[in-house]
Structure 1
Amino acid sequence: MALLEVNNLSISFGGLRAVGDFNLKIEKGELYGLIGPNGAGKTTVFNLLTGVYKPDEGIIKLDGQDITRKNTIEINHAGIARTFQNIRLFKQLSVIDNVKVGLSERIKYSLFESIFHIGSYRAKEKEMEEEALRLLKVFDLDGEKDILASNLPYGKQRKLEIARAMATNPKLLLLDEPAAGMNPNETKELMDTIALVRREFDMTILLIEHDMKLVSGICEKLTVLNFGRVLCQGETKEVLADPEVIKAYLG
């Protein structure tokens, strides 16, 4: 059984079909790429998978569970986490506090306990602190745990965003153009970070990206979207050599 299975997914906005008859199957542990020209519908697919949009038609299953009509919080609890093309950190919080935000749905205490620092509050805070620090060490960010997220270099902000997503303990990680705005050195570090996530967390990853060097270097399989429809699917090397894919990118 595939970890993610999407069948006949479709959505229209104002009569315009943004995504039509979209099918996708990702096995556990795969690093899968979703590519296509600007406006092809890639981010719309991500928004459908994460509950931002509800499809007009189709079914989304995660690890055998139908999540098609669930909201964003329910889908995150089911096991999907994502990052965004424009980094969305709490920039006036510290590095470690950003990770704690990701942990807050897993390690909980009541509002009453948090106000008066009673009951399980201190034990849960200690657990959260230790888990956040453990994650930061994995991403080599523990040395910057107390600085503001806004003071991190761009590449490390992206790394922190991925660390925060991993704090939710996902089954599937969606990365939305993680290399956007990066220089070549930062892109290389990003590739190392993605490899780290797969290795340390045995993570399944779906990636949107325009950097074809990155895509060809790390993705095992690809789906190409064009005008909201699947143009080509398969092994990365074969897909990137397909004449219709080359035509879609080069016009």
Structure 2
Amino acid sequence: MAMLEVNNLSIQFGGLHAVDNFHMKIEKGELYGLIGPNGAGKTTVFNLLTGVYKPNEGIIKLDGQDITGKSIIDINKAGIARTFQNIRLFKDMTVLDNVKAGLHNHHKYSTLTGILRLPKYFKVEKEMNERAMEILKVFNLDQEAELLAGNLPYGKQRKLEIARALATDPKLLLLDEPAAGMNPNETQELMDTIRFVRDHFNMTILLIEHDMKLVGGICEELTVLNFGQVLCQGETSKVLKDPTVVTAYLGE
């Protein structure tokens, strides 16, 4: 069974078909890329998958479960987490607390328990601290746990955003232009990090990216969007050589 299966997904804004008859199938454990020119509809697809938008047509299945039209919270609980092109960390909170924010789906106590500092509060906080530190160690961020997130270098902020998303214990991780704003050395380190995340967490990953070195270096399969429609799909090396992709996307 595929981790993500999307069929006939469509949405209109007024008379504009932002996404039209979109289809995609991602197997468990796959590292998959969604690419296309600016304005092709990539972020709209992410917003449909995560419940920000509700489709006019189509079906979205996550690990066999129909999540079409569900709320952002319900889709996150079902197992989809995402990062954003523009980093959205809690910059005035510590690195540790940013990751703990992602853990609250699975580690809970009541407001009253928190106010009164009952035994369960300390038990749950201890569990969250330990789990958050485990995740931070994966990204070599454990030494910065008590720093404010906004004081981290840009590349480490990107890593922290991925770490926070993973704290929700997703089945599918969506990365929205993770290499945006990075220098070549940071991009190479990010590629290594994404591969490690896939292998260490047994994660299925779908990413939007314009950096073709990153796409060609880590993605096993690609879907190319153009004007909201699927232009080409398949094995990365073949898709990137497809004449229609080269013309529409690479501008050659």
Residue 236 of structure 2 corresponds to residue 236 of structure 1: yes
1:149 corresponds in structure 2 to: 149
1:177 corresponds in structure 2 to: 177
2:189 corresponds in structure 1 to: 189
Secondary structure (helix, strand or coil) at the match of 1:19 reads strand
Which runs of 4 or more aligned residues in structure 1 lie more than 4 Å from their structure 2 counterparts after TM superposition? none
Separation of aligned partners in 1, 2:139 and 2:183: 19
2:73 corresponds in structure 1 to: 73
Q: CA deviation at 1:63?
A: 0.4
Question: RMSD over aligned Cα, in angstroms?
Answer: 0.6
2:129 corresponds in structure 1 to: 129
Counterpart residue type for residue 179 of structure 2: A
Q: CA deviation at 1:195?
A: 1.0
Separation of aligned partners in 2, 1:180 and 1:35: 14
Q: CA deviation at 1:105?
A: 1.3
Separation of aligned partners in 1, 2:69 and 2:56: 10
CA deviation map 1:88-112 (0-9, x unaligned): 0000000000000000111000000
CA deviation map 1:158-182 (0-9, x unaligned): 0000000000000000000000011
List aligned pairs for 1:83-94, cutoff 5 A. Answer: 83-94=83-94
Q: CA deviation at 1:119?
A: 3.9
Identical counterparts, % of pairs: 75
Residue 216 of structure 2 corresponds to residue 216 of structure 1: yes
2:167 corresponds in structure 1 to: 167
Secondary structure (helix, strand or coil) at the match of 2:73 reads helix
Q: CA deviation at 1:138?
A: 1.0
- With normalisation by structure 1, the TM-score equals 0.99
Separation of aligned partners in 1, 2:229 and 2:195: 29
Counterpart residue type for residue 132 of structure 2: A
List aligned pairs for 1:196-215, cutoff 5 A. Answer: 196-215=196-215
Secondary structure (helix, strand or coil) at the match of 1:187 reads helix
Q: Where does structure 1 lack aligned partners over 5 or more consecutive residues?
A: none
Secondary structure (helix, strand or coil) at the match of 1:223 reads strand
CA deviation map 1:100-156 (0-9, x unaligned): 000011100000000010141110011011111111111110000000000000000
Q: Which region of structure 1 is more displaced relative to structure 2, 228-237 or 189-198?
A: 189-198
Separation of aligned partners in 1, 2:130 and 2:175: 26
Counterpart residue type for residue 189 of structure 1: E
Counterpart residue type for residue 227 of structure 2: F
- With normalisation by structure 2, the TM-score equals 0.99
Secondary structure (helix, strand or coil) at the match of 1:159 reads helix
CA deviation map 1:26-70 (0-9, x unaligned): 000000000000000000000000000000000000000000011
Separation of aligned partners in 2, 1:234 and 1:200: 25
List aligned pairs for 1:95-134, cutoff 5 A. Answer: 95-134=95-134
Residue 15 of structure 2 corresponds to residue 15 of structure 1: yes
Q: Where does structure 2 lack aligned partners over 5 or more consecutive residues?
A: none
Q: CA deviation at 1:196?
A: 1.2
Secondary structure (helix, strand or coil) at the match of 1:206 reads strand
